[in-house]
Structure 1
Amino acid sequence: MKGMTGFTEISHDEKGTQYKCIGKSLNSRFLEVSVKLPSNLKGYEGWVRDEVQKVFVRGKVEVELHAFTSQDDQLKVSESLARKVKKNEDELKRKGIEFVPISYFQLLKLKDSLNTSSSLSTQNFKKIIRSTLKNLAYSRLLDGDTTKKDLESLLKQMQKHINKITKYEKKNSEQVFKKYKKYKKELNLKNSEVNYPEIFAAINKSDINEEVVRFISHLDQVGKLIKSKGQVGKKLDFFTQELLRETNTITSKASISEIKIEAVELKCLIEKVKEHAQNVE
């Protein structure tokens, strides 16, 4: 089982520049990809998106690559750049073109604009991105393992409550029959005056056996689902709806408080399972 929450960060140094790649993932119904790259690497954004789609199916995935240079390097202007600027300046002056001499601050800005050609090789760039996605996938896998353990615990608790409801089924039917015997006595009805088809229909409406059987069946399928290796999020969300539907019906049909109490506990547990369904792939 794969979760949708994850985080990773890796660093790489190349030619005096430090590159830091951050991968983040949050839960989302569909796959949402956000890519932030240095301006000189914007052309690779489409490639990064394709790589993300190869690894993930659901979740809000963010990939950010940042480049850092030391403060000393940021304040340095190479001698070769200064000479080239001076040479061009002299040539323009010889042609009669006059302008204000360039300042050191302007040289720094010029250096930054000329550094748009990254020192990071294409091979290393792709290696960094792929390593980040691999680590992020592993982070989500760990998140999924934690979720799986919690789900298994929730299923065990749900099984205990549905087992109690099963034990109360007979008592529930007896309670309904007692009510009709009481009404019959109070109304002083003779057997010939009792509408038995109507009584049996009413008893049947209070019978929760079918709902209990379906609930147990759904619970069994959820248990198998969370052990599978495929995508489970959307299927798990579907089963929580079915479990909740059966629980609501059991609550409305039950005649004794013991069953209603257990059903309330089931609803709370189902809601927790539903929350997990939103955070697994």
Structure 2
Amino acid sequence: MPVYSMTGYASGQNGPVGSHSEAEARPAAAGRLGVEIRSVNSRFLDLTFKLPEELRQHETALRELLTGKLKRGKVEVRAAIENTAQAGVVEPSVKLLQRLNGVQDGIKAWLPGARELSVADVLRLAGGDSAMRGDWGSDLLEVAGKALDALMSARQREGARLAKMLEAHLAQLRTLVEQAGPLIPQLVEQQRARFLERWQEAMGLTGGTLPEAAQDRALTEATAFAIRIDVAEELTRLNSHLDEIERLLKKGDEIGKRLDFLIQELHREANTLGSKSAALDLTRIGVDMKVLIEQMREQVQNIE
């Protein structure tokens, strides 16, 4: 399964008469339907619809369409009907003009102050409002479906880019873990040698020789030091988390929440490693790890 980002944009529109199947059901040049879908990251699926009154009755069908494919993200759906009848002026028939004149006379009989119809009013009533009549449900779902497919493709492309960046960061983190591993035995050996050297200097000042008890004490101190700075467990858990993140990226689908949890665990282990640092090189590795993990956190926030 691919990795999907929660960020994307897509739009679609039908022809001037909607879908071919409805060309006979609706007047020619009735209008053009447009749909836009925008999505950004969110913890859950949050759908917002901005529809004209003519389309509001289809919100439930739109919601079912989107929830069938989207799992997370703040998604906004906008739809509009563009009146295209004015592109070619509809010439009213004589019968329609007579009807409009009769209606106007009837209204003025009751409302003498009412203004008379203008040419623009007559043209609008003759055909300009045809875009607002009829059932747009079929066209709306068809156009929204195409826009949703385009949105999924855009989210998939962005998800692939994010996955590639995360894999690059994983490789860098693995390198840092490998660099940190050999440092601990080296530090323990250096500290052991330093303890023995100090005991020998102390015994030299007293004119004695280094007794076996002193050597044991030096080894005990070195062992305690090794326990304090041992990060083998942290490095093991770091490798385990990196393996799991890599597995999830290959698996794809709805992995964002799981990745977010693993990023938190990576940050926890990196912090522990830094707190146990007893050498400048290990401190540098811990800082580099946290920088990479923070960059990964920002990218994971956009994965569905």
TM-score of the superposed pair, with normalisation by structure 1:
0.86
Instruction: After TM superposition, give the deviation of residue 145 of structure 1 in Å.
Output: 0.8
Instruction: After TM superposition, give the deviation of residue 259 of structure 1 in Å.
Output: 1.1
1:101 matches 2:103: no
Residue matched to 2:50: 36
Q: Is the 8 A contact 1:205 1:253 kept in 2?
A: yes
Letter in 2 for 1:222: I
Q: Is the 8 A contact 1:233 1:280 kept in 2?
A: yes
Instruction: After TM superposition, give the deviation of residue 39 of structure 1 in Å.
Output: 1.8
Q: Match for 1:68 among 67, 82, 91?
A: 82
- Alpha carbons of structure 1 residues 170 and 73: separation in structure 2 relative to 1, 3 Å: same
Instruction: After TM superposition, give the deviation of residue 61 of structure 1 in Å.
Output: 1.2
Match of 1:40, SS state, is: coil
Residue matched to 1:59: 73
1:137 matches 2:139: no
Match of 1:101, SS state, is: coil
1:251 matches 2:284: no
Structure 2 residues without counterparts, runs of 5 or longer:
18-27, 204-209
1:279 matches 2:302: yes
Instruction: After TM superposition, give the deviation of residue 168 of structure 1 in Å.
Output: 1.4
Instruction: After TM superposition, give the deviation of residue 191 of structure 1 in Å.
Output: 6.2
Residue matched to 1:235: 258
Residue matched to 1:157: 172
Inter-partner Cα distance in structure 1 for 2:227 and 2:111? 101
Inter-partner Cα distance in structure 1 for 2:202 and 2:52? 86
Match of 2:235, SS state, is: helix
Residue matched to 1:214: 237
Structure-to-structure mapping, 1:114-129, within 5 angstroms: 115=130, 117-119=132-134, 121-129=136-144
TM-superposition CA deviations, 1:190-240 (whole Å, max 9, x none):
765749767644431211111111111111111111111331111111111
Residue matched to 2:59: 45
Instruction: After TM superposition, give the deviation of residue 109 of structure 1 in Å.
Output: 7.0
Q: Is the 8 A contact 2:8 2:38 kept in 1?
A: yes
- Alpha carbons of structure 1 residues 182 and 230: separation in structure 2 relative to 1, 3 Å: farther
Inter-partner Cα distance in structure 2 for 1:226 and 1:160? 19
Letter in 1 for 2:270: T
Q: Which has the larger radius of gyration?
A: 2
Structure 1 residues without counterparts, runs of 5 or longer:
none
Match of 1:174, SS state, is: helix
TM-superposition CA deviations, 1:153-181 (whole Å, max 9, x none):
11111111111111212123224434544
Structure-to-structure mapping, 1:77-92, within 5 angstroms: 78-79=92-93, 82-92=97-107
TM-superposition CA deviations, 1:51-102 (whole Å, max 9, x none):
2111101111122112223483497674465433212233456x76634433
Match of 1:151, SS state, is: helix
Match of 1:57, SS state, is: coil
How many pairs does the alignment contain?
Answer: 280
Match of 1:227, SS state, is: helix
TM-score of the superposed pair, with normalisation by structure 2:
0.80
Letter in 2 for 1:126: L
- Point out the more displaced range, 28-37 or 204-213: 28-37
Letter in 2 for 1:4: M
- Point out the more displaced range, 59-68 or 148-157: 59-68
Residue matched to 1:6: 8
Percent of aligned positions that are identical: 27
- Alpha carbons of structure 1 residues 273 and 103: separation in structure 2 relative to 1, 3 Å: same
Match of 2:162, SS state, is: helix
Inter-partner Cα distance in structure 2 for 1:232 and 1:280? 7
- Alpha carbons of structure 1 residues 103 and 210: separation in structure 2 relative to 1, 3 Å: same
Inter-partner Cα distance in structure 1 for 2:47 and 2:75? 5
Inter-partner Cα distance in structure 1 for 2:122 and 2:81? 20
